[in-house]
């Protein structure tokens, strides 16, 4: 069973090498680097505004603020995402969708977990369950991992 947690600045610096290794899917390296950069920016912004730490706690943002999350299974990073609820469009906006692929897990396990998380967040926020990917994620299209998951 995996765990989704807020992706803090300390987490990011510790887990960044796992995300940099790249995906085993068709995602182009420049797109991946762009998403990694965006994830790092969002984690830093989050830390600056909310000062959250897993040990001490802190302020958690409202649903309409960008929120970075990481997904781990037994301390193995499988993925990271950044999301917020768009009040204007009543949907969930996704600003990063990054998967890591440790050899001991199925190739699409991270994509499946992130997708389930995104849909559950959309439901929790009361939105239409629509997911909108920003231009940083596969140029605003569906990520390759999601397409591969749909083809399965």
The stretch 21-45 carries a mean pLDDT of 76
Query: Does residue 25 surpass a pLDDT of 70?
Result: no
Complete domains list, the chain, with CATH:
3-151 (3.40.630)
Q: DSSP readout, 7-23?
A: --HHHHHHHHHHHHT--
Tokens of 144: 């390759």
Mean residue pLDDT across the chain: 87
Alpha carbon separation from 34 to 41, 71, 86, 95 (Å, rounded): 11, 20, 22, 11
Helix axes 9-20, 29-50, angle to 10 degrees: 170
Q: What are the pLDDT digits (tens) for 40-87?
A: 999 999 988 888 877 787 778 889 999 999 999 988 899 999 999 999
Q: Considering the chain, what percentage of its residues have pLDDT values greater than 90?
A: 51
**Beta strand 76-86 with 67-73: parallel, antiparallel or unpaired?**
antiparallel
Query: Does residue 102 surpass a pLDDT of 90?
Result: no
Is 68:96 a contact under the CB 8 Å cutoff? yes
The stretch 119-136 carries a mean pLDDT of 92
**What is the Cβ-side half-sphere exposure of residue 92, based on CA atoms within 13 angstroms?**
25
């Amino acid at each position: 069973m995996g765990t989704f947690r807020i992706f803090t600045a300390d987490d990011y610096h510790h887990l960044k090498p796992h995300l940099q290794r790249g995906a085993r899917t068709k995602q182009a390296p420049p797109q991946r680097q762009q998403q990694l950069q965006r994830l790092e920016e969002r984690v830093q912004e989050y830390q600056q505004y909310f000062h959250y730490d897993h040990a001490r706690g802190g302020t958690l943002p409202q649903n309409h603020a960008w929120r970075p999350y990481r997904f781990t299974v037994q301390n193995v990073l499988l993925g990271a995402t950044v999301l917020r609820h768009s009040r204007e469009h009543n949907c969930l906006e996704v600003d990063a969708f990054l998967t890591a692929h440790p050899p001991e897990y199925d190739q699409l396990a991270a994509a499946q977990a992130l997708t389930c998380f995104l849909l559950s967040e959309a439901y929790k926020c009361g939105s239409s369950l629509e997911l909108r990917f920003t231009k940083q994620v596969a140029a605003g299209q569906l990520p390759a991992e999601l397409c591969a998951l749909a083809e399965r």
